[in-house]
Amino acid sequence: MGLMVFLAFISMFVLYWVPVMMEDNEAKHMREAIGQFAELKETVDDQISQDNTNETRDTTIELGADGVPMFERETAGQLSLRLNSEFFRYTFQDTGEDIYENSSGSVDLISYNRFYIRQTVLYENGAVLIHQKQGDVVKNEPEFHIEKEGNSVILSATIISLYHVADDSVAGIGQESVSTRLWYTDRWTYSNITSPNGKVTLTITSKYTDAWNTFYDNTLTEAGLVSTEDYNITSGSGTLTIEIDRVSEFTLSHAFVEAYIGRATT
């Protein structure tokens, strides 16, 4: 009788309590990962704002979630640095000259959750995004500021290129670090936009155009711009185009950041 009771208890524990515990573990890990990517963004933002090209800084990323000892294995994750992905391109004319400025590169953590929502957390162009079946969102915003003054627009933005010798990736559990060092930042202020109707165009090539569409549409609307009158957003297959009219001044910064994945020392 005692053995039967014990086996029944074990069966109930495995069938009901282990999945609940694993869902909690995976959810906790995703909260930690989102916070760690926010720290990565803050680190790079600080390096850019301080123009600090002498210091390499590490951000620790937890790859996976804990398991339930003897009953369920850990949940692994994959951390990747992708150099030639997620392109951002500004195009316009200033004093009759064609201006083109491009950035690329991203860091992402794919969590192979089996009990909680499967998510990918990523850093691209100075923002933190969350990719999930329920919809993609921009969690931490990039440096993009816009102000409407009368019938004109003042715009400032920062784009960030990540570079290294090659793409890099590591999978499993435990801790890894993303190391970053600012190489240099180019900054320009354009105050004679001669594109037709003072137009500045941002073209984004990304897997996450829905999230970017929502972010830019909300940001432009909150600044007092009116869709189809002051700006237009069009989307295609993996491409998003934002056209902003009547830009009287545009301050554009392009930061080049060396990034690589390395084992955390803690």
Give me the residues paired with residue 231 across strands.
Answer: 227, 244
**Residue 252: predicted pLDDT:** 98
**Residue 115: predicted pLDDT:** 86
**Residue 207: predicted pLDDT:** 92
Domain locations in the chain?
A: 2-262
**Residue 73: predicted pLDDT:** 77
d(Cα 102, Cα 106) in Å, to the nearest integer?
Answer: 14
Residue in 257, 260, 111, 119 with CA at minimum distance from that of residue 176: 260
Q: What is the mean pLDDT of each run of 10 residues along the chain (266 residues)?
A: 50 57 90 98 97 95 81 88 90 94 96 93 97 95 95 96 89 94 97 95 95 98 96 94 97 97 60
- The conformational region for residue 224 under phi > 0 = left, psi -120 to 50 = alpha, else beta, is left
The pTM assigned to this predicted structure is: 0.90
